[in-house]
């Protein structure tokens, strides 16, 4: 059983005396069901698990209304072996998207309080507006992602002492030893190829090699297409598929901006924005918007018509590449292929998994551009992702005190590359693999 960060979140949820039913959302195959099932087995005497997709006959348990006693009666009518003991029973409703009306019962379960309830559903299929309207105020939400780099390190046998050691080096701006750089870089390259899908990671860790990994990833890509066909509505279906199939094409371009005019002749951006947002809501992609100006706050300070689209899971990006790029990447470890798109994609994924929204900046007139911007409490931080150890003119200019206007929100910057930890007075340099600790580090910088 792979250790996941949701494990502790579920334990803390169980400890609350006034807990609400929990909805765990996430993309297909990120490990929701396995994590909840493992938690249930460890912490409850009785577990009632119902999968509305595989056990469609259970959708009728709400036919007599949403009172808890009626629901329990109908469950035991279908399966008399199910046991309900107040205070000792977890009811796990899986594949919630196959029975959105289940959400209406959450108010009754919260008010009744005898049984703990967890629901799980794929974002691809959760009709969340309907669910939200049916359970507002009587549920908690948690969005689960594929495994981040820290969870990958756990899967490879490392414990928290390594993470804390890495963080201390960041705090002290102290370069890592040659051995640590070599080992962590090798692990991070494995993580880039694999991504964070638990089945993929588990197969790699179990067998110790990449045999069969690409086939697993490509099947996941096909499964996503199948779900798009199943859940996208009407004319949007073709648009969603068109966007989904061309993500890597646009990431291969120099500026990586998604342009619908290159997708379909005479297409307008507003016609496809809904398709892009659908994929984002489904947990398949991350959208990175272009900032209007370099100032806080970030929300509301961006152009919704200018954006980049990244895969949520970098393993899926690599699996989507053509055979020639696959051979180059796997044989020569050439992660700089696709004009740095792989490094940008994984940094975007690591930022999102820490809770950041994604923003970039590009100004044709001033030739200023920056891959990402994140914020701390009081400052705006440019984040540059480099395939080499050089810094762009933009990063140097943005962090140069002589070029900054009075009251500017930018103080220092961050460069992520294949180099050791350092600081030159303007920007900090960190190896790519430390990106997962950035939010924690930035909090303490204030």
**With contact defined as beta carbons under 8 Å apart, do 185 and 333 qualify?**
no
What pLDDT score does 329 carry?
A: 74
What pLDDT score does 445 carry?
A: 85
What pLDDT score does 407 carry?
A: 62
User: Residue ranges of the alpha helices (H) in 353-409?
Assistant: 393-398
- Alpha-carbon distances of 216 from 152, 156, 317, 329, 341, rounded to whole Å: 18, 19, 13, 18, 22
What pLDDT score does 262 carry?
A: 73
What pLDDT score does 406 carry?
A: 64
- Alpha-carbon distances of 221 from 64, 282, 285, rounded to whole Å: 40, 14, 12
pTM, 2 dp: 0.92
Which strand (E) or helix (H) includes residue 263?
A: none
- Alpha-carbon distances of 192 from 167, 225, 252, 334, rounded to whole Å: 21, 22, 17, 12
Query: How far, in Å, CA of 195 to CA of 366, rounded?
Result: 36
Which residues share a beta bridge with 119? 23, 93
User: Each residue's pLDDT tens digit in the chain (446 positions)?
Assistant: 899 999 999 999 999 999 999 999 998 899 999 999 999 999 999 999 999 999 999 999 999 999 999 999 999 999 999 999 999 999 999 998 888 889 889 999 999 999 999 999 887 655 545 555 566 788 899 999 999 999 999 999 999 999 999 999 999 999 999 999 999 999 999 999 999 999 999 999 999 999 999 999 999 999 988 888 887 877 688 888 988 988 888 888 877 888 777 777 666 767 777 888 889 988 899 999 999 988 888 888 999 889 999 999 999 998 888 777 777 776 666 676 666 889 999 999 999 999 999 999 998 777 889 999 999 988 999 999 997 777 789 999 999 987 776 667 898 999 999 999 999 999 999 999 999 999 999 998 87
What pLDDT score does 439 carry?
A: 97
What pLDDT score does 108 carry?
A: 94
Residue burial 184-215, b: 16+ Cβ < 10 Å; e: rest: beebbbebbbbbbbbbbbbbbeeeeeeeebbe
Query: How far, in Å, CA of 192 to CA of 185, rounded?
Result: 10
Smallest CA-to-CA distance from 264 within 295, 280, 233, 241 is with 241
């Amino acid at each position: 059983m792979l250790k996941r960060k949701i494990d502790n979140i579920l334990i803390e949820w169980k400890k609350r005396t006034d807990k609400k039913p929990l909805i765990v959302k996430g993309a297909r195959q990120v490990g929701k069901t396995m994590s909840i099932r493992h938690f249930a087995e460890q912490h409850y005497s009785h577990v009632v698990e119902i999968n509305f997709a595989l056990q469609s006959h259970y959708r009728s348990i709400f036919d007599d209304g949403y009172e808890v006693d009626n629901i329990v009666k109908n469950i035991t009518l279908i399966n008399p072996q199910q046991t309900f003991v107040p205070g000792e029973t977890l009811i796990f409703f899986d594949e919630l998207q196959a029975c959105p009306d289940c959400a209406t019962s959450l108010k009754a379960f919260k008010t009744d309080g005898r049984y703990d309830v967890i629901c799980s559903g794929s974002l691809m299929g959760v009709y969340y507006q309907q669910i939200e309207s049916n359970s507002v105020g009587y549920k908690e939400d948690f969005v689960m992602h594929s495994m981040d780099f820290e969870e990958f390190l756990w899967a490879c046998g490392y414990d928290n002492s390594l993470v804390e050691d890495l963080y201390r080096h960041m705090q002290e701006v102290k370069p890592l030893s040659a051995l640590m750089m070599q080992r962590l870089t090798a692990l991070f390259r494995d993580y880039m190829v694999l991504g964070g899908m638990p089945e993929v990671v588990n197969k790699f860790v179990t067998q110790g090699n990449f045999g069969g990994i690409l086939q697993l990833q490509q099947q996941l890509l096909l499964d996503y297409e199948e779900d798009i066909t199943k859940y996208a509505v009407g004319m949007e279906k073709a648009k969603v598929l068109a966007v989904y199939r061309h993500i890597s094409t646009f990431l291969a371009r120099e500026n990586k901006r998604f342009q619908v005019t290159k997708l379909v002749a005479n297409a307008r951006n507003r016609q496809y924005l809904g398709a892009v947002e659908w994929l984002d809501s489904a947990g398949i992609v991350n959208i990175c918007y272009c900032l209007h100006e370099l100032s806080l706050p970030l929300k509301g300070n961006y152009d919704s018509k200018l954006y980049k689209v990244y895969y949520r899971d970098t393993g899926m990006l690599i699996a989507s590449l053509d055979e020639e790029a696959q051979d180059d990447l796997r044989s020569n470890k050439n992660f700089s292929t696709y004009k740095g798109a792989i490094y940008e994609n994984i940094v975007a994924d690591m930022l999102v998994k820490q809770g950041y929204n994604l923003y970039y900046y590009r100004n044709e007139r001033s030739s200023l551009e920056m891959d990402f911007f994140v914020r701390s409490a009081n400052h705006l931080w440019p984040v540059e992702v480099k395939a080499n150890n050089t810094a762009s003119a933009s990063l140097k200019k943005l962090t140069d005190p002589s070029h900054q206007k009075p009251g500017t929100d930018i103080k220092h910057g961050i460069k992520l590359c294949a180099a050791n930890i350092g600081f030159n007075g303007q920007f900090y340099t960190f190896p790519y693999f430390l990106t997962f600790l950035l939010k924690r580090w930035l909090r303490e910088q204030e």
